[in-house]
Amino acid sequence: MGKSRVIAETGAGQHGVATATACARFGLPCVVYMGAEDVRRQAPNVYSMKLLGAEVRSVTSGSQTLRDAINEAMRDWMSSVQNTHYILGSVVGPHPFPRIVRDFQSVIGSEARQQCQERFGRLPNQVVACVGGGSNAAGMFYPFIKDQDVELIGVEAGGQSSRPGEHAAPLTFGRPGVLHGSYSFVMQDDDGQTSDVRSISAGLDYPGVGPEHSYWKDSGRVTYTQCPDKTALQAFDALARNEGILPALESSHAVAQAMTLAAEQPDDHIVLVCLSGRGDKDAAEITRLREEQEQHARD
């Protein structure tokens, strides 16, 4: 490509850390755009990025979350495209980003599919993944798309309620529109202005979703649902205490849905859950939220 600089945006910080890691390995300067609110709530990943030598630019415009980080990264790229490669972190944005990201992410889906066959001699009955922009879900679902017997379930961020502005679930509550160079389900007002969204999880806190998810929703191949903040936190606790795994808050949405689904099924039913991220990054924020709640309860 001949590019000498790399930029990325990040919500939860996972993609930022991954990009910073690759840049450190190859000696490339790396700038990561991150909403100021996400810099705060995903601090451990900010430390990691900085330790890996990346520059983290805190974005203070708009809602100071993933959407604004994407805006800033795109603005940077418009001025720097001659020497800079933009590694977009989700299956969103203009073509061919959604396809590039899906194809790279689909390593996890292909491996999971193969491992299921090796371990169980068959494919899973259901596959569950969380959906913000939808990269981990696209990567997990894509290798199963042709396996018509495998039910695919995407879980959006239900936030605090179904009221506008209190969730981040465009496939559940939004409608088709244009955002960041693609046509997909989006949270917008009647004038086409992007609506504010909200989720406890930085990686799901985005008003749009990858266009291929919109296609899968419309074609009926994937079922999309949403999980409230509270339920995601309960799933986080359940996985931490019963399995010794700290899931990312994003992935906790998928875990919650998987627990609900599995409870209704016979023992030999296989549910594959995409544990897209580790929860170490969320430990401090969850503790803070809990203390705030306890304080609230005492008052």
CB 187 within 8 A of CB 170: yes
CB of 230 to another protein, least distance (A): 29
CB 83 within 8 A of CB 60: no
Which long-range contacts (C-beta less than 8 Å, at least 24 apart) are formed by 269-272? 269/125, 269/126, 270/116, 270/120, 270/122, 270/123, 270/124, 270/125, 270/126, 271/124, 271/125, 271/126, 271/127, 271/128, 272/112, 272/116, 272/124, 272/126, 272/127, 272/128, 272/140
Q: Whose Cβ is closer to another protein: residue 184's or residue 225's?
A: 184
- Tell which one of 51, 107, 178, 284 touches another protein (CB under 8 A): 178
**Residue 75: Cβ within 10 Å count:** 11
Interacting span for another protein (CB under 8 A) from 13-21, 80-88, 143-151, 278-286? 80-88
Q: Whose Cβ is closer to another protein: residue 1's or residue 263's?
A: 1
Q: Whose Cβ is closer to another protein: residue 31's or residue 261's?
A: 31
CB of 178 to another protein, least distance (A): 4
The whole-angstrom separation of Cα 9 and Cα 67 is 9
Per CB under 8 A, 180 contacts another protein: yes
Per CB under 8 A, 51 contacts another protein: no
- Using CB under 8 A as the criterion, what x/- string covers residues 205-234 for binding another protein? ------------------------------
Q: Whose Cβ is closer to another protein: residue 29's or residue 176's?
A: 176
Per CB under 8 A, 64 contacts another protein: no
Specify the pairing of strand 182-186 against strand 175-179. antiparallel
User: What's the token pair of residue 174?
Assistant: 């939004």
Specify the pairing of strand 30-35 against strand 55-59. parallel
- Tell which one of 79, 148, 219, 295 touches another protein (CB under 8 A): 79
Q: Whose Cβ is closer to another protein: residue 45's or residue 71's?
A: 71
Q: Whose Cβ is closer to another protein: residue 101's or residue 187's?
A: 187
Interacting span for another protein (CB under 8 A) from 2-10, 74-82, 114-122, 143-151? 74-82
**Residue 148: Cβ within 10 Å count:** 8
CB of 15 to another protein, least distance (A): 19
- Sheet of 271-273: strand order equals 222-228, 151-159, 126-130, 271-273
Per CB under 8 A, 113 contacts another protein: no
User: What's the token pair of residue 175?
Assistant: 């409608």
Q: Whose Cβ is closer to another protein: residue 59's or residue 157's?
A: 59
Per CB under 8 A, 61 contacts another protein: yes
Residue with tokens 């090796």: 118
- Tell which one of 126, 172, 188, 214 touches another protein (CB under 8 A): 188
- Tell which one of 48, 64, 71, 105 touches another protein (CB under 8 A): 71
Per CB under 8 A, 3 contacts another protein: no
Residue with tokens 């199963």: 144
The whole-angstrom separation of Cα 211 and Cα 182 is 7
> For binding to another protein (CB under 8 A), which residues are involved?
61-62, 67, 71, 74-75, 78-82, 94, 177-181, 183, 188, 190-194
